[in-house]
Structure 1
Amino acid sequence: MQKGILLLVLATFLWAGNYICGRFLGPALPATLLNTIRWAISTLILWGLVILNKKQLPIFIRWKEFLVLGFLGVFAFSTLNYLGLKSISASQAGMISAGIPITILVFTPFFLKEQIKIKAWIGAIISIIGVILLVQGKQATSSEGSILGEIEIILSCVAWGMYTVLGKKYGKKIDPLTLTAGAAFYGTLLSAISCIGTVDPKLIHMTRNAWICIIYVSTFASVVAYFAWNAGVKIVGAGRAAPYINLLPVWTVLLGVLLLQEQISGITFVGGIITIFGAVLASGQSRVVKTQHEVNS
């Protein structure tokens, strides 16, 4: 059990590093190109793992599922994150991401036909209030660009919520590794297409540290974090694992302050605490629902 918890904590820590690297890479690469490079490397690693595990990858047979998940979880989520991190801090983006469990909660009844208890909806409302405070908690130097960045991060949370719920639905027929490898392929393809005619070579300013960040987001923040999370879930169970995703904004804020010397305004801090509290309340209730659903199945 303790090993499983450590794996879950490690996964959230590695995911938080993606926000830090995304913020650092903002001036180095256009968001669409950054996302294409990141997931092209991750796709090669994932496909290698599929081959090593002697699994088949029905890249054309299951193209609809892979395309939908690739668009939501690889292209939309990651690109919107990198776009948002160009104009807002990693700390603020991380705290807004605390709303991810809420988006999962909202889409669950529509796609999975699972019931959500009233306390979970109360948690969702509290978390939404927190996100509103986060959006209002801008520094005195904030501009229209930061407002756009906040909207982009919120939309990325919506994309990830849909990806998670549909991933669970499609996962009944496809194993997690195959599902992720297929989604990574189509997501990378969409990201590469988005680069055509939109990427100005003059905006590319790669340095040694930038390449290190690219390697990190392509391996540790993608493949390693994915396997750490799934291994942890396998040990402790999906219900007990769910609330640990709320460590993501905590790690992001800590890393943002320590590594990027970011400062957080009072209203932003309060908004983040309210968002996380609401997400924990919602996750705790959805855990009961998930556990009952697993028993019934």
Structure 2
Amino acid sequence: MKASLYLVLATLFWSGNFVVGQAAAASMMPLELTFWRWTLAAVPLLLLAHFVEKPDWRAVLRRWPALLLLSVLGMIGYTLLLYGALGYTSAMNASLITAANPALIVVMAVVLLGERTTRLGWLGICLGLLGVLLVLTRGDLARVFSLSINTGELMMTGAILVWGFYTIIGRRLDAPAISATAVQVVIAVMILAPFAVALNVRFPDTAAEGWSLAYIALFPSLGSYLLWNLALKTTPPGTAGNYLNLMVVFTAIITVMLGTPLSLVQIAGGLMVVAGVLLTGTRGKPSVTMEESGHSTARAVRSPAP
């Protein structure tokens, strides 16, 4: 029961990142949001890792080449694209596109790693892709061929592609999850710092910006990672992964509570994406050994989209 509560809260905080991030993107540059998010989260994440996981820091740091690549992809690339996208599209559309991430990762694993999936898995992938296309084109699928798709939604599609590479590479990383994340965050801050200085990145000077940044640094950056990893101590990774589908539900609820109605296209697309993800996660007779399958799933779920 406690683990389920942790997973629900973790996904709720990540859902809030879409809504709060959209509000913050109206007055702050993606670089400002990304730089301050990780700068404020770096030390608390290091402390969390140290006291929760008690890692061998020297062993973690010996993996610095992989951690550097993961930091550039997940902490810098994904986050910049996410906040850039939220300047052009709605939080709801961004969450719907993100919901297709599990299916995309399955496709990338098939193409890049030679893994296999079931027929139901392929049906789920196609259904999820159709749901995303429905959202991208606002119900007019012919827009795909005219390339008249919103800039923000294209950026969000790029963001989940980057996160797919992050997850595939992260599967091979043998390091405690929070510790590896903390080191990646520190690397991201070091890389972004010169750009922040050169572009005169400012600290939020309004109450709204300050509260937005406080939420982003505290809840999705710290709280979600801690709760998620605490839950994984007693919850199978595959079961935990299903909770990520709640992100679309929570984002929809928050959006409606803030007075923005959902369109029929968003509802239909969202249902198709979630159904597709559930089908993708359904296993028939596995084409790989159970050991390989379980290892891959564990790695994918330990690094959910921030």
TM-score range relative to shorter protein = 0.7 to 0.9
1:293 to 268, 291, 294: 291
Which one-letter code corresponds to 1:292 in the other structure?
M
Output the aligned Cα RMSD: 2.9
Change (3 A) 1:51 1:296: closer
State the partner residue of 2:177: 176
Once the two structures are TM-superposed, the CA of residue 111 in structure 1 deviates from its matched residue by 5.7
How many residue pairs align between the two structures? 287
The 5-angstrom pairing of residues 12-27 of structure 1 reads 12-27=11-26
SS of 1:116's equivalent? coil
Which one-letter code corresponds to 1:64 in the other structure?
P
State which drifts further: 230-239 or 282-291. 282-291
Where is the helix percentage greater, Structure 1 or Structure 2? 1
State which drifts further: 145-154 or 89-98. 145-154
The 5-angstrom pairing of residues 32-181 of structure 1 reads 32-52=31-51, 54-58=54-58, 61-109=62-110, 114-137=115-138, 147-170=150-173, 173-181=174-182
Once the two structures are TM-superposed, the CA of residue 187 in structure 1 deviates from its matched residue by 2.3
Once the two structures are TM-superposed, the CA of residue 49 in structure 1 deviates from its matched residue by 2.7
TM norm structure 1: 0.86
Q: Tell me, yes or no, if the aligned pair for 2:50 and 2:179 is still in contact at 8 Å.
A: no
Q: Tell me, yes or no, if the aligned pair for 2:73 and 2:163 is still in contact at 8 Å.
A: yes
Which one-letter code corresponds to 1:137 in the other structure?
R
The CA distance in 1 between the partners of 2:148 and 2:218, in whole Å, is: 30
The CA distance in 2 between the partners of 1:178 and 1:287, in whole Å, is: 35
Which one-letter code corresponds to 2:228 in the other structure?
W
Change (3 A) 1:138 1:118: closer
Once the two structures are TM-superposed, the CA of residue 238 in structure 1 deviates from its matched residue by 0.8
The 5-angstrom pairing of residues 203-242 of structure 1 reads 206-242=205-241
Q: Percent identity?
A: 26
The CA distance in 2 between the partners of 1:296 and 1:256, in whole Å, is: 35
Which one-letter code corresponds to 1:285 in the other structure?
R
Q: Tell me, yes or no, if the aligned pair for 2:55 and 2:176 is still in contact at 8 Å.
A: no
Q: State the Cα deviation string for residues 132-154 of structure 1 (Å, max 9, x = none).
A: 00001189xxxx99711001111
The CA distance in 2 between the partners of 1:286 and 1:180, in whole Å, is: 33
State the partner residue of 2:301: none
Once the two structures are TM-superposed, the CA of residue 97 in structure 1 deviates from its matched residue by 1.1
Once the two structures are TM-superposed, the CA of residue 210 in structure 1 deviates from its matched residue by 1.7
Q: Tell me, yes or no, if the aligned pair for 2:41 and 2:221 is still in contact at 8 Å.
A: yes
Once the two structures are TM-superposed, the CA of residue 168 in structure 1 deviates from its matched residue by 2.3
The CA distance in 1 between the partners of 2:211 and 2:294, in whole Å, is: 46
Once the two structures are TM-superposed, the CA of residue 184 in structure 1 deviates from its matched residue by 1.0
Unaligned runs of 5+ in 2: 141-146, 296-306
Q: Tell me, yes or no, if the aligned pair for 2:118 and 2:285 is still in contact at 8 Å.
A: no
Q: Tell me, yes or no, if the aligned pair for 1:50 and 1:56 is still in contact at 8 Å.
A: no
